Structure 1
């Protein structure tokens, strides 16, 4: 079993290496592809040569390049999904979920080349997975986003605010992660984890507050503060003119 896993890992590594090279060449020459069309840029021969194996060995594990990619995608999906778990038996739900998000970021960082490749070819797979995992964590851990705060007979508006805040929060995490997976060196992973924890805690406090702001209240709030800022800017401008 160990031998099989080692050989598959070797083929995965070779596939990622060849795909990176060929995609760079395709972009440089203006010969661009999209989605699974990228897979036409690589051949079994190129992969076997990079992995230092013969074609028979390749076909022992995979039917073709598309089957190889599907296995590679499943490999990273499984690994990322597992990294999200561990919060189920923790006493502090908030701390546990934030920790699991941090573990997921660590996993993505450790496997950045392969995950970046899969994300480039299959745009939705990881955002969908991340959104599902965080939504499951929120729903299962009863202390988070407690619907009891809505009251015994909540209005549709308050239910809407809660449900769509959760959707907004989880989808936001998912697509920030997706962008970061494509550009992992643009933003330090520790800073990313801090931003996630801060945003998650802020949304949690908003939902747990006794009063959920309606859209009208939100608009009034922004109008008020926009007026205040405009007044301050005008006064500052006048002071600078006088001085």
Structure 2
């Protein structure tokens, strides 16, 4: 069993190495438009050569390049999802969630090259996973997601506020993480942990408030800040 895992890991590493020579992950237009079409840039022979194995060994573990990519993607998703557990039973769910954020970012750091590649080819998988877990986190902390907080007569506006908050958070966390994967030395991972944790806590507090900030509130805040800035 251990030998199988080691061999698969070797093939994964070879695939990542070969793909990195084929695509430029720093070009957003490639990331957005091509998707799985990029897998056509590589063939089995190139991977077996990089992994120092024969074709028969490759086909022992994978049907083709697409199966290889799918298994690699599943490997990272399950690797990250292992940290999104046990929030509901924790004495302090918010503290547990913040701790999970740190563990996930550490995992991403350890697997940076592969996760960056998967994120470039499949732009949906990680944002979707994040969205599911943001929803779980909001539920675990007892915010508006559960029916008792929304109340029996929850308005459609309240439900929209919650659902779109989840989408906004997931999208923001996904893109921020991807940008960090591209430039890990420019933006330290400890700073990313801080950013995501504080953003989630802030959104949670906002969702608990009686009234969400509207355009008039934002304008009032902006005007006050302008006055204070001019006064200084």
After TM superposition, is the score higher than 0.5? yes
Instruction: Tell me by how many angstroms 1:69 deviates.
Output: 1.1
Instruction: Tell me by how many angstroms 1:70 deviates.
Output: 1.3
The gaps in structure 2 that reach 5 residues or longer are: 28-32
Counterpart position of 1:221: 217
Given that 1:83 and 1:107 are in contact with CA atoms closer than 8 Å, whether structure 2 keeps it comes out as no
Query: Equivalences for 1:12-161 in 2 at 5 Å?
Result: 12-23=12-23, 34-139=34-139, 141=140, 143-145=142-144, 148=148, 153-161=153-161
CA distance in 2, matches of 1:46, 1:7: 16
Given that 1:34 and 1:121 are in contact with CA atoms closer than 8 Å, whether structure 2 keeps it comes out as yes
Query: Are the structure 2 counterparts of residues 181 and 130 from structure 1 closer, same or farther at C-alpha, using a change threshold of 3 Å?
Result: farther
Counterpart position of 1:241: none
Instruction: Tell me by how many angstroms 1:207 deviates.
Output: 2.2
Query: Secondary structure of 1:83's match?
Result: coil
Given that 1:119 and 1:182 are in contact with CA atoms closer than 8 Å, whether structure 2 keeps it comes out as no
CA distance in 2, matches of 1:66, 1:160: 37
Instruction: Tell me by how many angstroms 1:173 deviates.
Output: 2.1
Query: Secondary structure of 1:185's match?
Result: coil
CA distance in 1, matches of 2:224, 2:138: 37
CA distance in 1, matches of 2:186, 2:177: 12
Q: Does 1:212 align with 2:201?
A: no
Query: Are the structure 2 counterparts of residues 46 and 224 from structure 1 closer, same or farther at C-alpha, using a change threshold of 3 Å?
Result: same
Instruction: Tell me by how many angstroms 1:116 deviates.
Output: 0.5
- Count of residues in Structure 1 that have an aligned counterpart in Structure 2: 224
More deviation, 97-106/115-124: 97-106
Instruction: Tell me by how many angstroms 1:11 deviates.
Output: 0.5
| TM-score computed with the length of structure 2 as normaliser | 0.83
Instruction: Tell me by how many angstroms 1:102 deviates.
Output: 1.7
CA distance in 2, matches of 1:192, 1:234: 32
Counterpart position of 1:9: 9
Structure with greater contact order relative to length (CA < 8 Å, sep ≥ 6): 2
Instruction: Tell me by how many angstroms 1:175 deviates.
Output: 3.1
Cα shift readout 1:29-80 (whole Å, capped 9, x = no counterpart): xxxx821222122121111111111111111111221221111111111111
CA distance in 2, matches of 1:228, 1:88: 40
Query: Equivalences for 1:158-173 in 2 at 5 Å?
Result: 158-173=158-173
CA distance in 1, matches of 2:224, 2:133: 41
Q: Does 1:176 align with 2:176?
A: yes
Counterpart position of 1:196: 196
Query: Are the structure 2 counterparts of residues 230 and 92 from structure 1 closer, same or farther at C-alpha, using a change threshold of 3 Å?
Result: closer
Kindly name which structure, 1 or 2, has the bigger radius of gyration based on alpha carbons: 1
Over aligned residue pairs, what C-alpha RMSD do you find? 2.6
| TM-score computed with the length of structure 1 as normaliser | 0.80
